[in-house]
Amino acid sequence: MLKTVICGIEFKNPVFLASGIMGETGSALKRIAKGGSGAVTTKSIGKEPNHGHRNPTIVEVDGGFLNAMGLPNPGIDEYVKELQKFREDLNKMNVRIIGSVYGKDEEEFVEVSKKMEKYVDIIELNISCPHAKGYGATIGQNPELSYSVCKAVKKSVKIPVFAKLTPNVTDILEISNAVVDAGIDGLVAINTVRGMAIDIRAKKPILGNKFGGLSGKAIKPIGIKIVWDLYENFDVPIIGVGGIVSGEDAIEYMMAGASAVQIGSGVYYRGYDIFKKVCDEIIKFLKEENLELKDIIGIAHE
Ligand code: RRO
């Protein structure tokens, strides 16, 4: 009932793991796949290994989590070994893989994407991390840089390429216009919202990096509005992400225009099998409303 086709790729359901959670090792991805996700997204992977920012890197705040992990990852050459080991297991479970890629310029994005391409179904370009100077949102807040990175990767790989957008911009349409012009196959919205928390006894910022990105329930209305705007303006598939914890949240994103959703912080709220729970809740809603999944995508715009 939830089978979904996006860019010609069939997914057993439209409820995916977001990048950044349980995506650093193949065994963690497999654990999530067992929880019922239609696809898993890897941690963002770069050209070289990276330790990330100083601890603490994550703190729970009202309505979500503030993180500044700082792109920790083993580098693409090590990471593909993980994917080689686990890809077959994920295939057998009929779970697709989205490879998240970051870089400081088009050359790095192209090099990592080309190495990633053989092991994944979709490339997701991370041009949106809010707290990695020179990476992420440094690119995704600049239409020219976003265009050139997306264009270069699109020219270099054969599989579909999606761009993950930052909400930390004045005009989301300026950036999304640039990446759609570059020929991107789909949009992922949103990455985390820039924020900060202060320990009033220590009289200092809590995170080692001082500021970070807010995820979780608090950011859902921000994500919904951006997905709404993207659906109104572009004809490419949208994956909605930001604060999804329940089937109702996922349905809200779909009614705004998302063809699929990703869940990150929700794993902490409802466990590894949140994917199965959310799918069951979507099915229950569709039955009650006598609707099919395809009917609800963008229905709120009618
Ligand atoms: O690693 C991180 O700190 C991180 C990344 Br790459 C991202 O894209 N978004 C985020 O909130 N944290």
Q: 256 alpha carbon to ligand 1 midpoint, in Å?
A: 25
Distance 134 CA to ligand 1 centre (A): 13
Q: Which of 27, 57, 54 is nearest to 42 (CA)?
A: 27
**From the CA of 190, how far away is ligand 1's center (Å)?**
12
Q: Which residues of the chain have pLDDT under 50?
A: none
Q: How high is the pLDDT of residue 163?
A: 98
Residue 44 CA: nearest ligand 1 atom is 6
Q: Whose CA is nearest to atom 7 of ligand 1?
A: 129
pTM score: 0.98
* 184 in Cβ contact with 161 (< 8 Å): yes
* Cis check: omega of the bond before 190, within 30 degrees of 0: yes
Residue 149 — left, alpha, or beta (φ > 0 → left; ψ -120 to 50 → alpha)? alpha
pLDDT for 56: 97
- In the block, tokens 């999606």 appear at 162
Distance CA 69, CA 57 (A): 5
Q: Rounded to an integer, what distance in angstroms lies between the CA atom of residue 84 and that of residue 110?
A: 20
Q: Terminus-to-terminus CA distance in the chain, angstroms?
A: 23
Q: What is the pLDDT of residue 99?
A: 98
Contact 236, 214 (CB under 8 A): no
The pLDDT value recorded for residue 133 is 87
Tokens of 47: 């050209």
pLDDT of residue 15: 98
Q: What's the CA gap between 274 and 266, in Å, rounded?
A: 7
Nearest CA to ligand 1 atom 10: 129
Question: Ligand 1, from 21, 53, 59, 67: best to mutate by most atoms within 8 Å of Cβ?
Answer: 67
State percent of the chain over pLDDT 70: 100
Report which residue type is found at 278: V
**Per-residue pLDDT, 232:** 98
Enumerate residues 6+ apart whose C-beta is below 8 A from 147. 178, 179, 181, 182
CA 11 to each of CA 94, 119, 264: distance values in angstroms, whole numbers, following the listed order: 8, 16, 18
Q: What is the CB neighbour count within 10 angstroms for residue 251?
A: 23
DSSP 207: S
Positions marked catalytic: 129
